[in-house]
Structure 1
Amino acid sequence: MIGDQDASSLRILAISALWQGANDYAFVRAFRRMGHSVRAVSEQEFLPSWRSWPLRLVRRVLRERIVEDYNQALLREARMLRPDLLFVFKGALVKAETLRAVRDMGTICIQFYPDTGFRAQSPQLWDAIPEYDWFFSTKLDHVEGLRASHGYHRVSFLPHGFDPETHRPIEASARDIADYGCDVSFIGSISKKKRAAMEELLQRAGELDIAIWGPPTWREQGGAVAQAYRGSPVLGLEYAKAISLSKINLGLMFEGSSDGARPDVLTARTFEIPGAGGFMLHERTDEAAEHFEDCTECVLFSDHDEMIDKIHYYLAHDDERRAIAAAGRQRCLDSGYSTDDRARVIIAKFHELRTQDSNSGADR
C-alpha cells in the first residue's frame, strides 16, 4: 500500500467529469461516501467542447498537443497524490505509456467502460486496454471480445447503476410539472432505430403528450419528431424530475454500428429510470429481464406494436403503473443497483489485485 494512511481509506485519482448527474462523477461521490480520498481530473478541462466549425477545426489541429498535455497533467497529479488506485471512467485520452508510468509507481489501474465500442472513441483508448490491471465493462460482449482482440483476460462485466444522490423521487414544483409533465418520454441520444420507434409512436399515438429530450439532432429530423423535441439533454436533478413527471419512460436501445460498436441490451437508463421512481417501458432483452421482473418491476416490449399497446394500457391504469414504478425502485435498492454498490465491487477488486501483487512480489 502506498503511503501510511489507514488501509480502509484509499487515495484515488479518478478520471471523471465534475458535474452532478455525470455517471463518472457518481463514482467519485460514491468513493468519497465510502471514506476514500479522491482527486478527480476531467478531460473537459483540456479538450474543450467547442461547437462552431472554426473552433472545432482548431481543436482538431491541436488535438495531439492537447492529448499530450492532458497525459502529462495526469502524471503530475499521480506523482503528487501517489494514489493507491487510478480509476478511469472511459478514459478516451489516456495513453498506454501513461498507465505504465502510473503502474510503475505501485498504483493499481482500473477501468470502468460505459460505452458500446472502442475504435471510434480514440486510438489511445484501444492501445491502452492491455495496460489496465482490471477492465470492467458495462457490455457483456466486451468480455469475450477483448480476449479475442487483445488476448486480454483481466476483464469482467459490471452493469451501470443509478446515482442515489441524483436518481431519486423528487417533490415537483408547479414549474417542474409545466416543464416536464408528459404522458410518454424518451431521454437520450438518437440513432436510426430509436428514431424509427419515436416516429412510429408519434404517428400512431399523436394524441398523447410525447416528449423527447436529447441532442439537437432530434430536432433536425423535422416533422412530428421535431415538434416532440423539448430541448437539449436534461441533466442532474432535472433529469430525475423529467423521469418522475413522465408517466411512461421509454428504454430504447442503441442498435450498434458498422464501426464495431455492439448493440445495447442494458444502458444507464435501465437503472436510472426505476432508481428515480419512474415507470419504465423497456425493450425486451434477456439482461433487462434478469434485472427487473416484467410487469411487476418494469414492463418489457419486443416491437412497436407491443410498445404502443402497452403505452395505451398503462396510461389507462394509473394504479398498476404507479405500483410497478414503486416496485422497480425497490428492486434497485434491494438488489444493489446503485453506483455505491458498483463502487464497492471496484474497491473489492482493488484489494484482490493488491493482495495478488503482495503475494507475487508486485511483479506485474
Structure 2
Amino acid sequence: MRILIAGEWVPHGNARLYRRAFEQLSVQVAVVDSLEYYTISFSNRLLNLFLRQLIPFKASWGIQRYYGAGRFNSVVIERVSDYKPDLVFFVKPILVPPETVQSVKKMGALAFSWYPDDAMNPRTASPQFYKSIPFYDCHFTTKSYNVQNFLALGAKRARFLPHSIDSALYCPVSVSVEEAALGSDIVFVGTNYENERSDLLEALCREGFNIKVYGERWNKLSKKSCLRKRGCVQYRPAYLEDYCKVMSASKIALGLLAKVIPEQHTARTFEIPACGAFMLHERTDEAMSFFEEGKEAEFFGSFEELVEKIKYYLAHDAERRKIAEAGHRKATSEGFSYRSRAREILKIYEEINQ
C-alpha cells in the first residue's frame, strides 16, 4: 500500500510522526511538504490583513490566502499522478480547495483529512476547507464534538481520533540540580489566550501556591498580576526535551482545557503522564475515559476541588508518585500511540475499499 502525506513537515510534527507510524505498519509513504511552497511569513500576514480590511469582518473570518499555496496544490496533484498512492492523507488542509481533492480522487486515490484543532472555528480553518469537506472520503478529528459538525457540512464520513503520544519524545528524564529549578509544586505549560485560564492560575497564585507557568502570551498579563509579581511566569514556551524536564521537575502538572470551544481533551492530556508527571486535569467524560480517576490521574470540577486536591497531593508524596507511575504506564501503552491511531486510519481505508 502507498500513502502520500500532504501537509506541514516540521521536526517532530504530526505529519512526521504519522509517516513513521504508517511505515511501522509496512506502508510505503511519500510526502509533499507545504513549507516548501508557503509559510506564515510577513508578506502572507500582510496579505491576510489587507483582505480583512477589504472584506467586512464577519465575511473575512477564516480567510487564508498565502503566496505559494496554489503551487503546493499543483505539486500535490503532480505527485499523485507520479506516485499513484492508494490514499492521500492531508494534515490540517486549510489551504486545499475542493478542486485539489476532486483531482486526487479522479486519479483513483482516496482522500482523508486529519484535523488537530477545532475545525469549526473559522479562525483556524478557511472557506475553501469548508467547501472541500463533502469531497473527502473521511475526516479524522481530535475533537469529538466536531464529528457531527463535519457530517452536517456534507462529509461522507467523520471519525473521532484522539490525540496520540510518541513516548520517545515525551518521557521521564533525569534533571540536574540546576534543571530542577525549571519545575515547581504546580506547573502549567500552555498559551494564555483566554481569561478563564489566567484567572484560575491567578487565583491559585493568590492562595500562595508555588507555581510556574510556561507558554506564549503570558506577557499580556497585567502588571498587577500575582503571577507576574511572584515570578511565576517564565515568559517562554517549553517544548520536547525542555517540556520533559519541566514535567520531571514538578510535583503537579495541570491539564487545563480551552473554554472558547467545548474542548474535552488536548495533547497535554497524554503528554503530561507520558513524561511521568502527576496530572491534575479538568474533569470531562472524555479525559476520564483515558485515565482512571484516583489511580492514573486526578481530576477537578471546581476551583474548590482543585485547591483541595493540590493540598492533599502535595502532602502525600507516595500516593502522588504511585498515581503518576500508573498514569505513565497508561499513557505510553500501545493504545495511545501514533501507530495505534494509524492502524485505525487504515481500518477505515479497508472498510471503504471492501
Structure 2 gap ranges (5+)? 51-63
Aligned residue in 2 for 1:67? 69
Structure 1's 65 and 334: CA in aligned 2 closer, same or farther, altered over 3 A? Answer: closer
**Counterpart among 13, 20, 23 of residue 29 in structure 1:** 20
**Counterpart among 175, 189, 193 of residue 172 in structure 1:** 175
**Counterpart among 94, 108, 111 of residue 110 in structure 2:** 108
Amino acid at match of 2:99: E
Local SS of the residue matching 2:140: strand
State the Cα distance separating 1:154 from its structure 2 match: 0.6
Quote the Cα distance in structure 2 between the aligned partners of 1:176 and 1:340.
32
Aligned residue in 1 for 2:54? none
Aligned residues of 2:38 and 2:67 also touching (Cα < 8 A): no
Quote the Cα distance in structure 1 between the aligned partners of 2:17 and 2:195.
29
Amino acid at match of 2:252: I
TM-score by length of 1: 0.84
Aligned residue in 2 for 1:4? none
Q: Deviations over 1:98-126 (max 9, x none)?
A: 11111111111112221124322212221
Aligned residue in 1 for 2:232? 228
Amino acid at match of 2:200: A
The 5 A counterparts of 1:1-364 are 10-50=1-41, 56-58=45-47, 63-118=65-120, 119-120=122-123, 121-148=125-152, 150-178=153-181, 180-190=182-192, 191-206=194-209, 208=210, 210-215=211-216, 217-222=217-222, 223-226=225-228, 227-256=231-260, 262-334=261-333, 336-355=335-354
Aligned residues of 1:108 and 1:354 also touching (Cα < 8 A): no
Quote the Cα distance in structure 2 between the aligned partners of 1:64 and 1:17.
14
Amino acid at match of 2:45: R
Local SS of the residue matching 1:282: strand
Local SS of the residue matching 1:336: helix
RMSD value over aligned CA atoms?
2.3
Quote the Cα distance in structure 2 between the aligned partners of 1:64 and 1:333.
38
Local SS of the residue matching 2:206: helix
Quote the Cα distance in structure 2 between the aligned partners of 1:283 and 1:123.
33
Quote the Cα distance in structure 1 between the aligned partners of 2:335 and 2:75.
35
Q: Deviations over 1:220-260 (max 9, x none)?
A: 2133344422233222232233222222111101012xxxx
Amino acid at match of 1:113: Y
Amino acid at match of 1:221: L
State the Cα distance separating 1:175 from its structure 2 match: 4.8
Range moving further from structure 2, 32-41 or 132-141: 32-41
TM-score by length of 2: 0.86
Any runs of at least 4 consecutive aligned residues in structure 1 with deviations exceeding 6 A, and if so which?
Answer: none
Local SS of the residue matching 2:16: helix
> How many residues in Structure 1 have an aligned counterpart in Structure 2?
334
